[in-house]
Every structure is written in structure tokens, then in C-alpha cells.
Amino acid sequence: LTYIQNQLALHNDADLTLVFGHHPVTDTGVSTDTWLYYGAQTFISLLDQYGVSSYDYGHTHRYSDVLFAGDAYTGQMTNDGVVYLNSASLGKSTSNHFSVIAIDCNGISSKTQKIASWPLVLITTPVNYDLGGVTNPYAYGVPVAPNNPIRALVFDSNTVSQVRYRVDGGTPWYSMQSVPGNPRLWEAQWNNSGSTGGVHAIEVQATGSSVASDVITVHVDPALTDADHDGIPDWWENEHGGTN
């Protein structure tokens, strides 16, 4: 615990802090699971104090991606909580899954998938508004604008012939382009000038070894300002130091 506190203090100026551990921090509801015992409450208070963005763990070999903001066992966190990602294991569990975690404009996205199942599609911008059935406190609202960026990582053992997106499960599909210098990153600009405010679904579909998709929800907010017209709200850029 002293080591963890010292490391968090040493990097207290970081935009994001991701902590990786083995065990879940609290009871999972499964009687055969174990979780943190000694120092659990202190550990969670340190994550809270230093504004840790995510805690990623394994041990149970079951996938879940939720928001954890404390409970009766660990004590409640006073801030927004952490992204709480449980990765199904590669090589030990029979499901043989792996996880990809991506950071785009200081927004965290993840995808867990079975090995040798291609392509893997992970939308990195916008950040998913839903996090395990609750509102993601780290997702930004999307302005009403002609050029909202949509970006996705696509991994495949074979050539990816097409990547496209659609909104709210409708038609048409819109093409996405490979980003120069990063062939696994694809992007497009979503013109939602005629969109209504509220929650909308974005699906990115890739065609490679097979056809696969990633679907997220976003919250469109007509009240958001976007002075440089890059599709990222001004408040997010001010808080997170730009869009790189």
C-alpha cells in the first residue's frame, strides 16, 4: 500500500492513471471467487484520492466492464469512481479471450474477444455513453455539428476490405477511411446537423476475415459549443488538454 501510494503521488500530474491488478476489489457474488482482503478499504480510498481512471483485473476469468464507485465493503468513493474492467483470460479459461484497451483524446475504450475471431472492432471516439448499464461519467456529450469524428481500431489477420458506420441502426451506411500512418485506425466525420438531442447508437462494421461490429451509444447535446469545429466539445478540450 505504501508503494502504491508513493507511485500515485509521484505521477499525480498524469492526465490518466490506469491500475492493473489480479483480484477484484470486492465481492463478485460468486461463492468460489476471492477478492481483496487486507487493505481493501485503503486501496480504494487511494484510487479515489488520486483520481485513478480505471482498475483492470482478471482472476475470475469472466468478462465485465462496469463503473465501480465503492460499496459497503470498500467504502464509497467521493469522486466519479473507476472504470472496472474484468478481462477473461487468455490461455487459462476455456473461452480463451483477450482484451484491447485504447485511449483516444483521454477517453478509455475496451473490447474483449475470443482469440482467432476476426476482425476485432473497437470504437475509440466518441466514448461510449453507457458503462455497464449506467451513464459513463467519463464520456463527453456530442455537439450538433457537421464534422463529429468517429474513429475505430480494426484488427484482423487478413486484409480489411471495408469499414463503415451507421447511426441508430438505420441506412445508409457511411464509409470510413484508414488513417495515414496508422492502418489499423479508421475514421469518418458524422454530420449530425439534423439530429435531435438525446441518446443515439453508432455502429461501426468491418469486413475482413468475416464481418464484425462494435456498437456504442452517445448523447447528443445541442447546447454544447465547439469553437474549433472538430467535433469535440470545448469543455472536454479545456479539461483534457486538446484532442491529440
Please report the pLDDT score of residue 52 as a whole number: 96
The 10s digit of each residue's pLDDT in 103-146 is 998 899 999 998 889 999 999 999 999 999 999 998 989 998 88
The 10s digit of each residue's pLDDT in 49-69 is 999 999 999 888 888 999 999
Please report the pLDDT score of residue 177 as a whole number: 97
As a whole number of Å, the CA-based R_g of the chain is 19
Please report the pLDDT score of residue 93 as a whole number: 66
The 10s digit of each residue's pLDDT in 156-209 is 999 999 999 999 998 899 999 999 999 999 999 999 988 888 999 999 999 999
Lowest mean pLDDT among 33-42, 205-214, 232-241: 232-241
Please report the pLDDT score of residue 244 as a whole number: 40
Please report the pLDDT score of residue 226 as a whole number: 73
Q: What percent of the chain has pLDDT over 70?
A: 95
pTM: 0.90
Please report the pLDDT score of residue 84 as a whole number: 96
φ/ψ region of 39 (left if φ > 0, alpha if ψ in -120 to 50, else beta) reads: left
Q: What's the average model confidence in pLDDT over 10-27? A: 94
Please report the pLDDT score of residue 230 as a whole number: 64
Per-residue confidence at 154, pLDDT binned at 50, 70, 90? Answer: very high
Q: What percent of the chain has pLDDT over 90?
A: 71
Mean pLDDT of the residues in the chain: 91
CB 79 within 8 A of CB 48: yes
How far apart are the C-alpha atoms of 140 and 129, rounded to whole Å? Answer: 8
Please report the pLDDT score of residue 231 as a whole number: 61
